[in-house]
Structure 1
Amino acid sequence: MTTAFPLLRLPYLVLLPVLEQMELKERIALSVLSKRARMFLKLLKMKCKYINLILDSGRLEMKVFSDKSEELTVVMYIDEYQLSNMIYRYEGYFTWCNGGPLPVDYAVSIMDVMHCKSINQFIVQDIAEHDCIPIVAKLSKIDEVIVEHISPPNFLSIEALLRKEKILLKVLKIVLPVSSAVTISYHALKPEDLREIIRGNFESVTVRKYSADYMPNHDMKFSLNDLRMTNVRSLEIAGPAFTLEDLNHYFKLWMKKKCDPRLEYLQVATRRWLTVIEIRNLLLKGLNAILHYPIRTDRTFRVLGNLKQVFSEVEDETPFWELDITRADGKTATIRIGSHGTVCFYVCPESPNNTTNLEPSRSSFARKLSFISTFYNSCVNRFK
């Protein structure tokens, strides 16, 4: 009979070198056994680049990327009776734990031992018909929520599909309030639900067309009021969600400072059956925009603190028109119209040609320092 080795009863000076020799997967497996084990492992000060969580039906998959280029996958299951089952999967070796804590408890424990404060990406690939809310109920901070194209199986009834959609909404109501950005498939939610998302207080909202999607839903229209009420800093919509007339009115409201002051970047598709010249005429009516010619295709903008080249991520599209509009307070924005009708609206932080944060140069700083020094010395001499 094999006798269990009392690892955690070793003296601290002996235990720590033993833990240091363990592989990442062994440390993670040990950390979820008890709070005492996790306390010792936290002393190793393990770091990770980021952690992603993937919700696929009733399974939660956790991918840990350490700062030493190591990758670990932990797969956690929950059945229809909400009894948690967990599987560790590495190199064909499986350990089964039945009736323990919920999967999210293990995820939070692993984040704690890896000194990770937030989930990098929470990806929803599919939703189970049974309740999967306990999987995500305790996540505290998420950088980005991604809802991919969820194609319903043909054999599911309408009632089952409605049940899955209801559960997806419940999951999003839990994770969206603790997230900064949202990327969602065009067909994942109804227009009224997407409308609530673009009005949320997010840094970025992207409604995109995944490769598995059909053509964007042309019935999914938003109003001018939806665009006025948005509270995001970056908004990208793949389909023709707004009419050109509404976009034109929005730009006029922006020039009068009567819309969302946080919006820095807007990208939206338009009706493809119009020519680029027709799009320009409808979009810029009454704006007194200044045309840029020739267009600088290498020009970059700063969006959410990152440099971005407009149209670099739009497939088979190049800028066709580039114009500037100016607000009453002197703020400038650039409007770009693509060869396929995509419209990009970028609010310039300083000026149209400035893509970096302005910082005083060494020479200007030295001149200011010299002026201050001269002024100080003159004051001292006067008092003498």
Structure 2
Amino acid sequence: MTTPFPFFRLPRLALIPVFQQMESIDVIAFSLLSKKARNVSKIFCKFSSRNVQLTVKSDHLYICVAFEMWRQMGLKYYFNTENIPNLVNAMSQKRTFTRENSGLTASQWVELVLDVTNCESIGQMDLKGCQQFDVCDTFATLQNIGKLYIFNECINVFAKKTLEILSPVTTQIILFKIPFETREEFQTFLKSNLNYLDIHTSTFPTFKFALEDLMVTNALKLNLNDGKLNLKEINQFFKNWMENKCDPRLEHLELSTSEDVDEKNLLEGLKTVPFSRDRKRAFHYSKPLDSSSQSFSGGYDIRRTDRKKATITSGDVWGETFISFYAWP
């Protein structure tokens, strides 16, 4: 019978070199043992995470923590023991956790890892399918998400719950699927004070983003380069904006079309003022998004009934015409 080593009874000066010799993954594993172990880990090993990516899958969670450009650490939590693959690599075994070997739920595990690594924000979160709703308890504690990806594999009910919780604290939401069953439900989401919404509808061709959806969207920035609105709908949006019939919160809209575009069919019926292509302008968002500002030259200025100004620009790339709309503050 072996006698347990009294690790916590070691003096402070003895603990310092112990933690200095430990790999990051060992510190994380040690911190999972108890609340006291977590507190000791934070005292003697000052992590400073540069970027954290969280991936949610149907059978496990994956957290990748980058400390410097060249040093990162990946950890996995499997919801059910039977789902764990046969791990023969010792390093892979140390990076894998379950309810059984950690004593923690998925939600508690995520919270602990973020706490120990001093993570104040999540750079990127990928939802690729999950039925473990206790994870949402942790989502509610997150205050800053860079990019939130909703992939096709993510079940609708989990995607909707996550969007409900994280939309207010996420800079950019990228949808590869629309998890809403009805147009009314989808439009309720579009009205929810989003920051940057990026919709890729080419992956679900049965869904068609409509002009009525665009009219109610109040995201600060909206990317519909895969939305495939036709020129008539795009032109009608510009007219509606000039008549103050659109949600006023939208600052930047990006669109694309494969139709032939010229000034006549794009700007038909609009009172425009051309701006010189030799002069560059900087458009500043009301809050930092993927960038704090955008620079462009040329374009056409239009004015709304309340005298608010917007600029329309367009350009061709590989057979597609990309159109940008900027509503100036």
| Bucket of the pairwise TM-score, normalised by the shorter protein | 0.7 to 0.9
Is the Cα–Cα contact under 8 Å of residues 191 and 220 in structure 1 kept in the other structure? no
Counterpart check, 1:223 vs 2:211: yes
Distance 1:30 1:294, change over 3 A: same
SS of 2:40 mapped into structure 1: helix
Residues 299, 4 of structure 1: CA spacing in aligned structure 2 closer, same or farther, 3 A cutoff? Answer: farther
* 1:276 is aligned to 2:261: yes
Secondary structure at the aligned position of 2:138 is classed as coil
Aligned-residue CA RMSD (Å): 3.5
Gaps of 5+ in 2: none
Alignment match of 2:170 (pick from 166, 174, 179): 179
Structure 2: distance between partners of 1:231 and 1:262: 5
Deviations 1:219-247 (A, max 9, x none): 513233x3232221110013345444443
Aligned pairs for 1:128-167 within 5 A: 131-139=131-139, 140-141=141-142, 142-150=145-153, 164-167=155-158
Is 1:15 aligned with 2:15?
yes
Could you tell me which amino acid in structure 2 is paired with residue 287 of structure 1?
A: L
Q: Which has the larger radius of gyration?
A: 1
Q: How does 1:62-77 map to 2 (within 5 A)?
A: 62-67=63-68, 69-77=70-78
Query: Is contact 2:302–2:310 with CA below 8 Å preserved after alignment?
Result: yes
Residue pair 2:284, 2:292 contacting (<8 A) in 1 also: yes
The normalised TM-score by structure 2 is 0.79
Check conservation: 2:77, 2:97, Cα contact below 8 A: no
Determine if contact 2:170/2:195 at 8 Å carries over to the other structure. Answer: no
CA contact (8 A) 2:192 2:218 kept: yes
Aligned to 2:31: 31
Opposite residue 324 of structure 1, the aligned amino acid is D
Q: Distance in 1 between matches of 2:26 and 2:273?
A: 62
* 1:250 corresponding residue in structure 2: 237
Any idea what the Cα deviations from partners look like across 1:35-77, whole Å, max 9, x if unmatched? Answer: 1111122224321112111012221101111147421100111
Does structure 1 retain, via aligned residues, the 8 Å contact 2:168–2:194? Answer: no
Task: Provide the TM-score with structure 1 as the length reference.
Answer: 0.69
Identity of aligned residues (%): 28
Residue aligned with 2:321, SS: coil
AA aligned to 2:176 is S
* 1:331 positional shift: 4.0
Task: Indicate yes or no: 2:321 matched with 1:332.
Answer: no
Partner in structure 1 of residue 127 of structure 2:
124
CA contact (8 A) 1:241 1:269 kept: yes
Shift of the 223–276 alpha-carbon distance from structure 1 to 2, 3 Å rule, reads closer
Residues 28 and 188 (structure 1), Cα distance of their counterparts in 2 relative to 1, 3 Å cut? same
For residue 260 of structure 2, what is the amino acid of its counterpart? T
Structure 1 residues 306 and 175: alpha-carbon distance in aligned structure 2, compared to 1, 3 A threshold: closer
The corresponding residue for 1:355 is: none
Structure 2 partner of 1:202: 194
Q: Distance in 2 between matches of 1:166 and 1:137?
A: 15
1:291 corresponding residue in structure 2: 274
| Mapped partners of 2:199, 2:295: distance in 1 | 19
Give 2:193's aligned amino acid: N
Q: Do the aligned partners of residues 133 and 178 (structure 1) sit closer, same or farther apart at CA in structure 2, a change above 3 Å counting?
A: farther
Unaligned 5+ runs, structure 1: 152-163, 311-318, 350-384
Deviation at 1:90, TM superposition (A): 7.2
- Partner residue in 2 for 1:371: none
